[in-house]
Amino acid sequence: MEVIDINKLTPEQRQNLAAQFQAEEEATKKALKENREAYKTMVADTVPDMFRVLAVANDRLQEAKKKVFEMARDLIALKKDAYEVKDGQQSHTFSSADGNQTVTIGYRVNDGWDDTLPTGMEKVKQFLQGRSTDKESQEMVEGINILLKKDKNGNLKSSRVIELNQWAEKIGNELLKDGVRIIMEAYKPVKTCYFIEASYTDGTGKKQGLPLSISTADFPEGTEIDFL
């Protein structure tokens, strides 16, 4: 490629070259602006179509969930009559005759507590005061404090309270036992969402979950997106 020595150009040639550079720069800016405008137009046109597809999928999933729960309700009612049991389960799992297909329905529960929880925790802490007198006592204090530790959301875990009650029964101190009793009576579980899970056994005998949420569904082959 020929190299141009700008010092050898005439004023007119320099002016023409500068005009050429300016024209190319303006053309580049114009193309960039048009591309950005085209992108925004495409987004505006595409999003409603995307939303419609997802809305239809949501409607179908809701309808499917409703039908499955209606069928499960009949199964659970018959199960109660046939086996003479009260329905206290959080979930039920049903399987096909060959065991290759299973469907589980139920509801999830979050730990919840009433306003007496702090009172119970304070009594336990009163019991712990001044008890780190030897290694064994120190280990007890550390163990109970771990069980009283709340999670990142500021909630006490009910599973730890069961273990805490075992500690209280073993130690036998009335102040500790009363504090733990108050904590246990403060437990008010909160029912959150109902769920449906389904699985099947594939050709290799491996159990596979049936993806029922859009985030877990597999992409059809060839539809992967190259994200930036």
**How deeply is 105 buried, as exposed, middle or buried, from its count of CB atoms within 10 A (0-12, 13-18, 19+)?**
buried
- Give me the chain's average pLDDT, please: 86
pLDDT at 80 over 90: no
pLDDT at 228 over 60: no
Considering the entire predicted model, what is its pTM?
A: 0.61
The percent of residues above 70 in pLDDT, for the chain, comes to: 90
Name the phi and psi angles at 95, rounded to 5.
-125, 150
pLDDT tier at 47 (50, 70, 90 boundaries)? very high
3-state secondary structure 103-157: EEEEEEEECCECCCHHHHHHHHHHHHCCCCCCHHHHHHHHHHHHHHCCCCCCCCC
Q: What pLDDT does 16 receive?
A: 80
Q: Are 161 and 102 in contact (CB under 8 A)?
A: no
Q: How many helices (H) and strands (E) would you count in the chain?
A: 5, 4
Q: What pLDDT does 187 receive?
A: 93
Q: What pLDDT does 1 receive?
A: 55
pLDDT tier at 108 (50, 70, 90 boundaries)? confident
- Residue-wise pLDDT for 182-207, tens only, equals 999 999 988 888 888 999 998 898 99
Given strand 190-201, what is the order of strands in its sheet? 91-95, 101-110, 190-201, 207-209
**How deeply is 147 buried, as exposed, middle or buried, from its count of CB atoms within 10 A (0-12, 13-18, 19+)?**
buried
Q: What pLDDT does 223 receive?
A: 58
pLDDT at 102 over 90: yes
pLDDT at 45 over 90: yes
Q: What pLDDT does 3 receive?
A: 64
Q: Where are the domains of the chain?
A: 10-88, 117-185
- Residue-wise pLDDT for 120-145, tens only, equals 999 999 998 878 777 888 888 888 98
